[in-house]
Amino acid sequence: MRPQHCEPELNALIDDPAGALIALDFDGTLSAIVLDPNESTPVPGAIDALVRLSERGAQVAVVTGRDALTALRLGGLDRIPGVVVSGLHGAETWRAGQLSTRPEPGGIAQLRATLPALLADVDSDAWLEDKRLSLVVHTRRSAEPQATLDRLTGPVTQLAAEHGLDVVGGKFVLEIRIPGLSKADAVQALLSGDPSAALFAGDDHGDLPAFEAVSRWAKHTGKRGITIAVGDVEQVRQAAMLQIDSPEQLVPVLWAVAGEPQHRP
- Of 177, 201, 218, at which residue does a domain stop? 177
CATH number for position 147: 3.30.70
129: number of Cβ within 10 Å? 16
Task: Say yes or no: 147 and 244 in one domain.
Answer: no
**Which whole number is the average pLDDT over 218-241?**
94
Q: What is the DSSP string of the chain?
A: ---TT--HHHHHHHH--TT-EEEE-SBTTTB---SSGGG--BPTTHHHHHHHHHHTT-EEEEE-SS-HHHHHHHHTGGGSTT-EEEEGGGTEEEETTEEEEPPPPTTHHHHHHHHHHHHHHH-TT-EEEE-SS-EEEE-TTSSSHHHHHHHHHHHHHHHHHHTT-EEEEETTEEEEE-TT--HHHHHHHHHTT--SEEEEEE-SGGGHHHHHHHHHHHHHH--EEEEEEESS-HHHHHHSSEEESSHHHHHHHHHHHTT-TT---
pLDDT over 70 (residue 60): yes
122-149 confidence digits (pLDDT tens): 999 999 999 888 899 999 999 999 999 9
Within a domain: 2: no
Regarding whether 42 and 64 lie in a shared domain, the answer is yes
Q: Are residues 13 and 92 in the same domain?
A: yes
Is 46 in the same domain as 173? no
Overall average pLDDT of the 80-107 stretch: 93
pLDDT given for residue 244 in this prediction: 93
> What sign has the CA pseudo-torsion 100, 215, 208, 41?
negative
Domain match, 124 and 83 both = no
The residues near 149 (Cβ < 8 Å, ≥ 6 apart) are 137, 139, 169, 172, 173, 174
**Domain with 230 in it: what CATH number?**
3.40.50.1000
122 plus 243 within the same structural domain: no
Asked if 114 and 153 sit in the same domain, the reply is yes
pLDDT tier, 37 (very low <50, low <70, confident <90, very high otherwise): confident
Please give the residue range of the domain that contains residue 26: 8-102+182-257
Query: Are residues 187 and 88 part of one domain?
Result: yes
Q: Tell me the sheet residues that pair with 244.
A: 230
pTM listed for this prediction: 0.84
Gap between the Cα atoms of 243 and 100, Å rounded: 33
The string over 54-93, giving b where at least 16 C-beta atoms fall within 10 Å of a residue's C-beta and e elsewhere, is bebebbbbbbbbbbbebbbebbebeebeebbbbbbbbbbb
Within a domain: 168 = yes
Q: What is the average per-residue pLDDT within 160-173?
A: 90
- The residue among 229, 234, 232 whose CA lies nearest residue 214 is 229
Same domain, 84 and 114: no
Assess contact for 56 and 259: CB atoms under 8 A. yes
Kindly indicate the confidence band of residue 11, based on its pLDDT and cuts at 50, 70 and 90. confident
Residues 223 and 117 in one domain: no
* Structural domain total, the chain: 2
Do 32 and 86 belong to one domain?
yes
Q: Does the residue 265 lie in any domain?
A: no
Q: Are 26 and 62 in contact (CB under 8 A)?
A: yes
| Contact by Cβ (8 Å): 24, 63 | yes
Query: pLDDT tens digits for 182-191?
Result: 899 999 999 9
**pLDDT at res. 171:** 83
Q: What is the pLDDT of residue 168?
A: 87
